[in-house]
Amino acid sequence: MKDKEKRLILVTNDDGIDAKGIKELIKIAEKFGRVVVVAPEKGQSGMSHSVSLNEPIYLKKITSNNNTLQYSCSGTPVDSVKIALHHVLDEKPDLIISGINHGSNASVSAIYSGTIGAAREGSLNDIPSVGFSLLDHSPEADFTASIIFAEKIIEKVFENGIPKRTCLNVNIPNIHENQINGIKVCRQTKGKWVEEFNHRINPNNKEYFWLTGKFSNFEPESKDTDEWALENNYVSIVPIEVDLTSYKVLDELNKWNF
């Protein structure tokens, strides 16, 4: 394992560089090595793995403490990782950590999440990457428990590594650290978001829609899922692969005799 002084850690998020969650994650990262931060200049939640193809990307260097370089990026979380790897950094980072997200990224939320998109981009480049989320959307959320468990998980990542083309999706329940029962390695819960669109009229008499919804768990009794772990006061870890192939369906499709 590399000495702390030789490690380089890239920190990013999707809530924006001014979010409380990333400020806490930077403090954690500084305990493990040299830190560079490249994060969106404003909130980019729900951007998944999107990139900016039709507009320029602007990068701004920000004054920071403890000699930690920080940059705001006008693009998406994945843009932030890409520009960090291709322009900001002069060497490959030993770890990419994304978050700490304000709100859950369990189950299918991982598909939509810019936090997880950034971690997945790291894994595409064979860099150990972890996305952290706290189940509290408040801008002033209490990250005390998140700090404790994020440190434990990062330490384990440096000890053991992460298989290539895989990143970790970590979710932390919004409770006191003494109430957390431990860490569970889980699979992603089968479920979906049931959307609703609130139809409204603005002051100029122009209609618009506001997306809302709630999560529907298809298997609430299954005890090996991230949603069950979180509901039972465990930190959940789900390994996510880049490969989207449905291997179960390959044999079936081959029977179609194209």
**What DSSP assignment string belongs to 3-39?**
-GGG-EEEEE-SS-TT-HHHHHHHHHHTTTSEEEEEE
Distance CA 56, CA 59 (A): 10
* Mean pLDDT, rounded, for 172-184: 97
Distance CA 57, CA 77 (A): 12
Higher pLDDT, 170 or 193: 170
pLDDT of residue 193: 84
pLDDT of residue 65: 67
Within 8 A by CB and 6+ apart from 111, the residues are 48
**Residue 64 pLDDT > 70:** no
Omega before residue 9 within 30° of 0, cis: no
Higher pLDDT, 79 or 211: 79
pLDDT of residue 3: 78
Tens of pLDDT along 6-33?
Answer: 899 999 999 999 999 999 999 999 999 9
Distance CA 131, CA 129 (A): 7
Higher pLDDT, 211 or 204: 204
- What are the domain boundaries of the chain? 4-189+222-254
**Residue 194 pLDDT > 80:** yes
| Architecture of the domain delimited by 4-189+222-254 | 3-Layer(aba) Sandwich (3.40)
**What DSSP assignment string belongs to 171-228?**
EE-SS-GGG--EEEE-BPPPEEEEEEEEEEE-TTS-EEEEEEEEEEES-TT-TTBHHH
pLDDT of residue 88: 96
Within 8 A by CB and 6+ apart from 240, the residues are 110, 116, 119, 120, 123, 166, 167, 168, 169, 188
**Percent of the chain residues topping a pLDDT of 90:** 87
**Residue 63 pLDDT > 80:** no
**Residue 67 pLDDT > 90:** no
Reported pTM? 0.93
* Mean pLDDT, rounded, for 113-129: 97
**Residue 1 pLDDT > 80:** no
Q: What is the number of H-type helices and E-type strands within the chain? A: 7, 11
